[in-house]
Amino acid sequence: MTGHKRAGRRAAEQVAIIGTGNMGAAFLAGLLESGYPRRNVVATDVRPERLAELRERFGVRTTRDNAAAVRRADVVVLAVKPQVIRRTHEDLAPATEHRPLVVSFAAGVPAGAIEQLLAPGTPVVRAMPNLPAEVGRGSTAIAPGRKVGPGALRRARRLLERVGVVVDVAEEQMDAVTGLSGTGPMYIFIIIDALADAGVRVGLHRDIARKLALQTVLGAATLVERSGQHPIYLKDLVTSPGGTAIAALHSMERTGLRAVLMDAVQAATERSAELGKIILQRLSDGAP
């Protein structure tokens, strides 16, 4: 079940999306695809050409004035790069006097650090979404800041569930979330491409190999989701004695596919933590 079917029929809040790079635009696309009213959404960016593209593609209001967008918002989605978080918040602090709910996508920046850059008492929910939010199949982890009560957290959840699944984690687990699901779509893109290449290697036409690889990944994931069965149980259903699947499995185990994926998640997690420390140091130094 996609997120927007669970969101209910509550009155739509005014949402300002600050920053419309890859993740901000993906969230915007998924939010509107879920049926969220366009009149309740405003998007900002520093690039006039990007704003023109958003108006043409989505039909939403746009502006380069972050503060103006925030003043009219019930919920502010911060989708700016963490490297520019201080410069962005210099515009937003006076605009958050009405204490809107702030949902931050800024990787590596704790909710407490963002709270210090906004009007006192502004509730901040830290979130780590991923790119499939664009098609309503995102994975988002959330962690509340100190000023977030149960009602504000429910509001954040309702909004984010419109673009996929939402889970609660402790804020110190956000780097692990970044390593697994935040970076995760890249792993799957590589797997799809590798499977397509493998199909070409054994004689399939490129277009056919890519279509089969894509549908195999999509179908397998859907089967795990809908059946409720553990992936290993489903793996055992495929691996008949002396068959092709067990031969392929032996090859994968011998070459360490599991270890490769585990190492990739660990590397991404560690890099997320490193970047977070850099950003926090910049904020404490007062760097722009």
Please give the share of the chain, as a percent, with pLDDT higher than 70. 95
The answer on pLDDT for 145 being more than 60 is yes
Res. 1 pLDDT band, cuts 50 70 90: very low
The answer on pLDDT for 281 being more than 60 is yes
Question: Mean pLDDT of all residues in the chain?
Answer: 92
The answer on pLDDT for 4 being more than 50 is no
If one compares 92 and 166, the residue with the highest pLDDT of the two is 166
Please give the share of the chain, as a percent, with pLDDT higher than 90. 83
Domains in the chain with CATH codes: 3-169 (3.40.50.720), 184-255 (1.10.3730.10)
Dist. CA 236–CA 86, nearest whole Å: 51
Res. 237 pLDDT band, cuts 50 70 90: very high
**Secondary structure of residue 61 in the 3-state scheme:** strand
Tell me the backbone φ, ψ of residue 201, rounded to 5 degrees.
-60, -35
Res. 87 pLDDT band, cuts 50 70 90: confident
Residue 56 confidence (pLDDT): 95
Residue 230 confidence (pLDDT): 97
Q: Which of 268, 261, 275 is nearest to 179 (CA)?
A: 268
**Cα dihedral value 217, 223, 226, 229, nearest 10:** -120
Residue 109 Cα distances to 30, 102, 285, angstroms: 24, 13, 15
The answer on pLDDT for 138 being more than 60 is yes
Res. 170 pLDDT band, cuts 50 70 90: very high
Average pLDDT over residues 168-179: 96
If one compares 178 and 12, the residue with the highest pLDDT of the two is 178
Average pLDDT over residues 60-74: 95
Dist. CA 212–CA 170, nearest whole Å: 39
Residue 104 confidence (pLDDT): 95
